[in-house]
Amino acid sequence: MHLGSPGNLSQLNAEAPWDAFDPKAYVDHNYKSLIPEDREIISIVRAHFGDHFRANPDRQVRGIDVGAGANLYPAFSMLPWCEAITLLDRAEPNIDYLTGQQLGYDPGWDEFWDLFRADEAYAALPGNPRDRFAEVTRVEKGDLFALSRRRENWSLGTMFFVAESLSTSHEEFWQAVECFLLALTPGAPFAAAFMEHSEGYFVGDTHFPACDVGEAEIRSAIEVHAERQRLKTFTVGQPNAVRDGYTSMIVACGFRARGN
């Protein structure tokens, strides 16, 4: 079954029903427990950031999670190094969810944080991680495409399951990747994740669009503004393991290019 949009029609980001997004239904379906796919993704991102900052310590870092939605673990991945983390999302229900989690995130997220603690940088974080999360995160309602006006503003970034999951448009996919990368300072480490060949998805009873992209197109979009020699992509999981209508998850870890 093709899920790309209702009636198989094209759908742009501005046309999708974002304020009908149900973060509780999304968390219940995707993050109620730590599944093997997220375990692998966390291990990949944990190593990428941990290795970078061990070689580049004592830096003041400002992070951003673009399209944070109802997923906290991308922000967790940046906690040890950031003096501030912007959690950017356009959907009002997600803004409410993230703001509530700042007050003390739900116990279900503990096993995700515990997996990060396998790296010494996370394990050495002093105090309660909930206090740290509340201290450094800043929830911001905004459109990722507006990041084009805020270039080189953050020195660490994540974008998980966003660029391919906001419309059926390949042009908007490329634009989303570009806006994310150009918002980072040259040399900034980043991690991004994508649903490969996604056909769209439901959150509760509400359908949301997706753009059908494969690993080659994902790499091509990222390489425009990333250091090509240091860009790594990983294929995670099996087709339709988490939901119907995709082939795998692609994780990309790299560094913002200098000079473009």
HEC secondary structure over 37-74: HHHHHHHHHHHHHHHHHHHCCCCCEEEEEECCCCCCHH
Q: With bands split at pLDDT 50, 70 and 90, how would you rate the model's confidence at 259?
A: confident
The CATH number assigned to the domain holding 72 equals 3.40.50.150
Residue 215 lies in a domain: yes
The answer to whether residue 3 is domain-embedded is: no
**The model's pTM:** 0.95
Q: In the predicted model, what is the mean pLDDT of the chain?
A: 95
Write the pLDDT tens digit of every residue in 173-196: 999 999 999 999 999 999 999 999
Is residue 260 one of the residues assigned to a domain? no
Tokens of 120: 């010494």
Per-residue pLDDT reduced to its tens digit, 43-72: 999 999 999 999 998 778 999 999 999 999
pLDDT-based confidence at 13, cuts 50/70/90? very high
The answer as to whether 33 is a domain residue is yes
What is the rounded CA–CA span in Å between residue 13 and residue 200?
A: 13
pLDDT band at 8 (very low <50, low <70, confident <90, very high): low
CA dist., res. 248 & res. 188, Å (int)? 26
Domain assignment of residue 236, yes or no: yes
Query: What distance in Å separates the CA atoms of residue 65 and residue 89, rounded to the nearest whole number?
Result: 9
